[in-house]
Amino acid sequence: MHYKYCPKCGGKLIRRYIEHEKHHRLICSKCETIFYLNPKPTAAVVIRRDNKILFVKRKFEPQKGAWSLPAGFVEYDETVHQAGIREVKEETNLDIKIKRLLDVHSSFENADKHVLVVGFEGELMDGELKAGDDAEEVRFFDIDNLPQNIAWHCHLHFVRKATNQK
């Protein structure tokens, strides 16, 4: 993501090498505020029922029409665990609790966005399966017959971790 103007004063941002940080940074040419760019944290959740895994068919870009785990960006006022629980509820109407951390993945799959994906395994608690506003369809897939077009490679990796496959 490339920003052009300072969020504080509207001055033009310029790129400058900062000696003590050994890094190029965006700096405001007016107020000299350093604009730090960091990856965006997201949570993705593997939910297992018998021998099946829950997937969501994406209604919007990016990756519209592809299948993904219930997942989304962490809001500023919640923990990454809460984000996982909330995204599952929003996209599938199911209530879960977080069972364990599966893995963490730095994703550069979208060219302009560095996303940090925290993969959890969730335990089904309650609720009736129903597609939310940003899901076209929600469905449990057999572990041996997962969807062909999975939106992000790391989601498949999380599924394999959760089901002890290599």
Map residues 22-41 to x or -, x wherever contact with Zn ion holds by CB under 5 A.
------x-xx-x--------
Cα dihedral: 153, 103, 146, 62 (round 10): -40
Q: Which window, 7-15, 68-76, 119-127, 131-139, contacts Zn ion (CB under 5 A)?
A: 7-15
Kindly state whether residue 43 participates in binding Zn ion, applying the rule CB under 5 A: no
Kindly state whether residue 147 participates in binding Zn ion, applying the rule CB under 5 A: no
Write down the catalytic residue from 75, 78, 136, 137: 137
Cβ(28)–Cβ(13) below 8 Å: yes
Q: CB neighbours (10 Å) of residue 80? A: 16
SS3 63: coil
In the complex, least distance from residue 30 CB atom to Zn ion, rounded to whole angstroms: 5
Of 39, 40, 32, give the one whose Cα is nearest residue 16. Answer: 32
Active site residue 137: yes
Cβ(96)–Cβ(88) below 8 Å: yes
Map residues 81-120 to x or -, x wherever contact with Zn ion holds by CB under 5 A.
----------------------------------------
Q: Which window, 8-16, 69-77, 136-144, 146-154, contacts Zn ion (CB under 5 A)?
A: 8-16
C-alpha dist (Å) from residue 41 to 29, 74, 76, 84: 29, 6, 10, 11
Our CB check for Zn ion shows the closer of 11 and 147 to be 11
Active site residues: 137
